[in-house]
Structure 1
Amino acid sequence: MRLAELIGIVKENFYLAVVVVIALGVLFFLLNRSSMHHGKGDTKKRLVLLALFIGYLIMVIGVTFLNRGPGYTSNVDLSLFSSYREAWYLYSTRHWQFIYLNILMFVPFGILVPLLNPRFKQALWMIGAAMLFTLSIESLQLITGYGTFEADDLFNNLLGAVIGYGLTMGFLSLKEKKGVKSSLIYLTPLLVTVILFGSIFAYYHSKEYGNLSIVPANRADMKQAEVTTNVTLDGSRKTVPVYRAPSYTKERADEFAGEFFGRMKIDPAEIEDISYPDEGLYRVHGDSAYQLSFRFLDGSHSLTDFSLLDDGREPEDADEGKVKASLKKYGLEIPSEASFQRIDTGKYEWTVDQEASGNRLTDGELSVTYYNDGTVKEFDNRLVTYEKQKDVRIKSEQEAYQELLKGKFQHFSENRKIGSLQIDEVRISYALDSKGYYQPVYAFQSIVDGTEMTILVPGI
């Protein structure tokens, strides 16, 4: 999610809150004109605080319900800190944003409620109110299908409320001259949160390799699983290379987009940049409309030519030469070792399976769709050439297998329970980590509950 989108959501719900608060204020004024003239300063302050609180509640409702359609999602996740583990392994800006937003969303609650009612200056009353409020939101989201009931949301919301409560009570403590020490005690939740998040990111940037998205946030339940292996697992550790992708900065991605569209004779002024933290997104509008997506981590990219929506445009079969000729205007280079195959009418794919040449490793696929006007209007280029960084000693097949038996692999069953697991083959493969390293992983060719799948276990 881009910062502009977050600001847009906040603005939209802020305006809604302002309109409702003004309407309620006018109604209250009309009904209480005589008493307002004789009101005390404290009463006016309370009215202001009440208006702020009502506006805040409306914004929360807007963010949690009005910005989603029914059927958005509807399930229960009671695994505490699973969203943190997911954000850590993916190391995705979007996932961290959701955690921060869930915390920040309840900070105003913790600030305003103690000011509205002295009873909530007591920590237990404050925590109870915050828990009841967030529990109501999560339950309504589940019942209405507007969201997921998550234990992490409850935790993050409650943490935000406690931080807000600490800010208010710390300020009041200073105002009442109870001393700096008393104020710092109230600010402890904020300080601890900042230190913990700071430590997480400091640790991430200090370690050599990035995180692997193949590591699951929640383990599979292997307690009742019947496991059979049709291979002999090696107990010795191996030494294999680690490679690195040609990662890009935002500036280099912009240059790539400019050169890419320049080959197509498109004026740079016509390119709209709506990039995200992890991906460049470039659009061209007008008679010739395109969208280029560019992944910063490894330089893989995809294109859509929207003329495919024109009347009469249909995918059409062609030979490899014609398809290659149509790709020339995009500047795509297809390795000589890539294998070509037809997937469907007009849909083709070139694949390279971990071809090593010197200190380089090429891996991935290029998918294209060829149309009846003799052009390729869609492609997804995930053919990447990686540079060798160093050799590393990895765990043995037996050690990787033991991790697999503990459920440390991605799974897609709703209850996370595995009934049967059959392993037919194991080999060394590679997976891209969050810092652009192509790390060795063990690939177990398996049948899980009757479905063929490849289970990946980190090698390092």
Structure 2
Amino acid sequence: MRLQEIIGIIRENFTLALVGVIVVGIIFFLGYFIVYRKLLGGKKRLSKKQLLLASLFIGYFIMVIGVTFLNRSSTYPGGVNLAFFSSYREAWYSFSVREWQFLYLNILMFVPFGIFLPLWHARFRKARWTIGMAAVFTLSIETFQLLTGFGIFEVDDLFNNLLGAIIGYGIIMGILTIKDKGIKHSLLYFSPLLLVVLLSGSMFAYYYKKEFGNLIIVPNYKTNMASATITNDVQLDDQRKNVPIYKAPSYTRVSGEEFAVDFFKRQHLDTEDMEVITYPDEGIYRIQGYSIWFQFLDGSYRYTDFSNFDAESKDTNKKTLKDSVTTFDIDIPEDADFQKVDTGIYEWTADKIVNGNQLIDGSLNVQYYNDDTVKNIDNQLITYDKVKDVQIKSEQEAYDEILAGKFKYYPENNRLEALHIDQVEVSYYLDSKGYYQPVYAFQSTIDGREMMIYIPGMD
């Protein structure tokens, strides 16, 4: 999510929390001053500090409910994920900003919980009370999400929320005790925060230092193969081999915007008022009637001319279509396969075409219209540059990983009943740094469904 979207969610739920606090305040006023004080003659008074902290906590509570429930629709079938740290592994293998955001926001969301309670009442200055209340709160949220379909029950969410509460508790207790017990004692309270910062910093430093990126095809947890029947039609090679690794034409936000400007200008469009929306992984560029969705990692994109709503698709021949595509500065290799998909819709496919030190792979889909123009382009046809040769594991080693359940597949109850391997080949998969890594692609049938199993080629 972009920062603006996060701020928007906070602003929206802050308004909800403010209204909620006002409503609760009115109810409290009627109950305390009219019923308790006047009708029942109660004498107990509440301090302004307690009222303020109670109001803040109620507002915080409402915001958490808004984020975890009201901003979602009940579209999940309900499920349980008890694989500890699976969300961390998913974030690591994809190394997606969005995945890391979810993790850290889940932690951050409960930091105020750990801060408010010790301030509100002395009892909660004992860790067991604050952490216990945080456990009850987050467990209630996860259980309610499961029962209502607003989410799934995830043990990682419980851990992250509790960690956030522990960090918040440590921060406030460190501040409250620094004067009486000194800095050394307070540092113990700050240690959860310092540990998270240290581990996070080390992990990100390691990632950016290592040569190649991570592969999202690596599973978050093993598939249970205990009762699986496994058959294989392939004669597996047990020798390691050297194959090339390639690099995609990756872009930054600046170079991505330059690409969009050049693209529109080739179509004689004015880019002065171009709207730019950027996310960590992609950019959206719009001018009146046109848009480009651009992927920074490999330079693939989708282009739309919205005048297509006033036109009809039209068939044409390959040469005319190729000439039209050339005006978009798209170079199609001669060896690419060409086919008609539907009326006016055509596709070129390049299956790992090697051209010197380059590899061309992917597909190009275009749609032609009755005004003799192309108005829709989905360009996944990427030219990769060779980086160097790398040694990859043998087919047998890759197959052994499948036998051990180390592949991405999520059957019900994490159990696989029948697996048949039809074919295996060396293919390629884009990693999180834009390298096109060699992988083994096993054409398989799993529990009656045809699918491809990918195993990373490099150790």
Q: Is 2:160 the partner of 1:162?
A: no
Residues of 2 paired with 1:219 and 1:94: CA distance?
24
Residues of 2 paired with 1:305 and 1:407: CA distance?
45
Equivalent of residue 155 in structure 2, options 148, 151, 154 = 151
- Cα distance per residue 1:160-181 (max 9 Å; x no partner): 0000011111111114x11112
Which residue in the other structure is 1:458 paired with? 456
Which residue in the other structure is 2:65 paired with? 61
Equivalent of residue 378 in structure 1, options 367, 373, 376 = 376
SS of the counterpart of 1:178?
A: helix
Q: Is 2:103 the partner of 1:99?
A: yes
Q: Classify 1:30/1:446 alpha carbon distance in 2 versus 1 (closer, same or farther; 3 Å).
A: closer
Equivalent of residue 225 in structure 1, options 213, 225, 228 = 228
Unaligned runs of 5+ residues in structure 2 are: 38-42
Residues of 2 paired with 1:453 and 1:318: CA distance?
34
Which residue in the other structure is 1:80 paired with? 84
Which residue in the other structure is 1:3 paired with? 3
Which residue in the other structure is 2:415 paired with? 417
- Cα distance per residue 1:198-252 (max 9 Å; x no partner): 1111111111110011111122221111111111111111011111111111110
RMSD: 2.1
Q: Name the amino acid aligned to 2:343.
A: T
SS of the counterpart of 1:369?
A: strand
Q: Is 2:130 the partner of 1:126?
A: yes
Which residue in the other structure is 2:273 paired with? 270
Contact 2:229-2:418 within 8 A present in 1 as well: yes
Q: Is 2:397 the partner of 1:399?
A: yes
Residues of 2 paired with 1:125 and 1:31: CA distance?
28
Residues of 2 paired with 1:305 and 1:72: CA distance?
34
Which residue in the other structure is 1:293 paired with? 293
Q: Name the amino acid aligned to 1:321.
A: K
Q: Offset at 1:19?
A: 2.7
SS of the counterpart of 1:219?
A: coil
Residues of 2 paired with 1:192 and 1:122: CA distance?
21
Q: Classify 1:258/1:448 alpha carbon distance in 2 versus 1 (closer, same or farther; 3 Å).
A: same
Q: Offset at 1:30?
A: 6.5
Q: Is 2:345 the partner of 1:347?
A: yes
Q: Is 2:427 the partner of 1:429?
A: yes
Which residue in the other structure is 1:90 paired with? 94
Instruction: Tell me whether 213-222 or 408-417 shows the greater mean CA deviation.
Output: 408-417
Instruction: Tell me whether 128-137 or 410-419 shows the greater mean CA deviation.
Output: 410-419
Q: Offset at 1:105?
A: 0.3
SS of the counterpart of 1:16?
A: helix
Q: Offset at 1:427?
A: 1.2
Equivalent of residue 438 in structure 1, options 429, 436, 439 = 436
List aligned pairs for 1:236-251, cutoff 5 A. Answer: 236-251=239-254
List aligned pairs for 1:317-356, cutoff 5 A. Answer: 317-356=315-354
Contact 2:223-2:410 within 8 A present in 1 as well: no
Instruction: Tell me whether 333-342 or 78-87 shows the greater mean CA deviation.
Output: 333-342
Q: Is 2:210 the partner of 1:207?
A: yes
Q: Offset at 1:260?
A: 0.8
Residues of 1 paired with 2:249 and 2:351: CA distance?
18
Q: Name the amino acid aligned to 2:407.
A: F
Which residue in the other structure is 1:109 paired with? 113
Q: Offset at 1:416?
A: 2.7
Residues of 2 paired with 1:220 and 1:368: CA distance?
39
Q: Is 2:363 the partner of 1:359?
A: no
Q: Is 2:285 the partner of 1:282?
A: yes
Q: Name the amino acid aligned to 1:132.
A: V
Seq. identity, % = 58
Residues of 1 paired with 2:269 and 2:7: CA distance?
31
Residues of 1 paired with 2:78 and 2:209: CA distance?
38
Contact 2:118-2:125 within 8 A present in 1 as well: yes
Which residue in the other structure is 1:70 paired with? 74
Residues of 1 paired with 2:136 and 2:308: CA distance?
52
Q: Classify 1:25/1:7 alpha carbon distance in 2 versus 1 (closer, same or farther; 3 Å).
A: same
Residues of 2 paired with 1:318 and 1:221: CA distance?
51
Q: Offset at 1:417?
A: 1.7
Which residue in the other structure is 2:406 paired with? 408
Residues of 1 paired with 2:330 and 2:454: CA distance?
30
Instruction: Tell me whether 315-324 or 242-251 shows the greater mean CA deviation.
Output: 315-324
Equivalent of residue 195 in structure 1, options 194, 198, 219 = 198
Contact 2:271-2:287 within 8 A present in 1 as well: no
Unaligned runs of 5+ residues in structure 1 are: none
Which residue in the other structure is 2:18 paired with? 18
Q: Is 2:260 the partner of 1:257?
A: yes
Q: Name the amino acid aligned to 1:385.
A: T
- Cα distance per residue 1:67-124 (max 9 Å; x no partner): 1122255322111111111111111000000001100000000000111122211111
Which residue in the other structure is 1:49 paired with? 53
Q: Classify 1:342/1:236 alpha carbon distance in 2 versus 1 (closer, same or farther; 3 Å).
A: same
Q: Offset at 1:28?
A: 4.3
SS of the counterpart of 2:63?
A: helix
Residues of 2 paired with 1:458 and 1:272: CA distance?
39
Q: Classify 1:165/1:456 alpha carbon distance in 2 versus 1 (closer, same or farther; 3 Å).
A: same
Q: Offset at 1:32?
A: 5.6
TM-score, structure 2 normalization: 0.94
SS of the counterpart of 2:411?
A: coil
Q: Offset at 1:144?
A: 1.6
SS of the counterpart of 2:50?
A: helix
TM-score, structure 1 normalization: 0.94
- Cα distance per residue 1:239-269 (max 9 Å; x no partner): 1111111111111001001111111222223
SS of the counterpart of 2:284?
A: strand
Q: Offset at 1:41?
A: 11
Q: Name the amino acid aligned to 2:141.
A: I
Which residue in the other structure is 1:179 paired with? 182
Q: Name the amino acid aligned to 1:210.
A: G
Q: Classify 1:40/1:251 alpha carbon distance in 2 versus 1 (closer, same or farther; 3 Å).
A: farther
